[in-house]
Amino acid sequence: MGLIKKDRRREAFIQMLCQARNASAVGNWSEAIAGWEKVAKRDPENMIAKLEIARALRKTGKASESLKLIEELRRETHDNPEVLLAAVRLNQSVGNKTAAFDNVLLLLKQQESPKVLTLARDLAEDLSQFALAIDFHKRLAKREANLKHAEQLSELELKLLLADDSTKGDLSKLRDKLRSFVGSHENCASACMKLAEVE
């Protein structure tokens, strides 16, 4: 009898999981939240249920509640990569690029994959940290073959050059730097256009 009861409880739990997943899959977020909350109540250690609740909360416009749950999860799981990635995505969605970048740096310490390096590069670029973006891009280029890597690197290097304070307000200095840049990056259309603009 004990085994039968245990088996029924397991089947009921699996059914609960399936219902919550189905609600998430079709975007029925209020039903998904209720389903995942049942799963989390039954299994308080279930990190996936909590992540799914956070995702559903974000989808229903409750970003602050979602972020609070993600921060709790970060403390509980000691910076689990899946939780950190969820924190990156959530912070990006609410426009908090600095917090997203902080989380991606923590994630990089654990997982230096092309996906994480791409996130790090893009966030560094968004935050105008072009030297860091270039570093992440070079690390990414070593890990995956992509014909666009050289073109993207040129664009990042141009942004770094244009952000240089030593050329602000000095068009002749900027022109000289752009001429030198175009000489070594002749296929960079943006640099040619910027040089023409300065000329």
Calpha distance 25→8 (Å, rounded): 25
Neighbours of 133 (CB within 10 A): 25
Calpha distance 100→90 (Å, rounded): 8
User: What was the pLDDT predicted at 108?
Assistant: 93
User: What was the pLDDT predicted at 177?
Assistant: 92
**Of 120, 98, 99, which Cα lies nearest the Cα of 109?**
120
Orientation of helix 114-126 relative to helix 149-163, angle to 10°: 30
User: What was the pLDDT predicted at 98?
Assistant: 94
User: What was the pLDDT predicted at 4?
Assistant: 76
**Of 152, 148, 171, which Cα lies nearest the Cα of 160?**
152
Residue-wise pLDDT tens digits, 128-163: 999 999 999 999 998 887 778 888 999 999 999 999
pLDDT under 50 in the chain at which residues?
none
User: What was the pLDDT predicted at 132?
Assistant: 95
User: What was the pLDDT predicted at 119?
Assistant: 94
pTM: 0.78
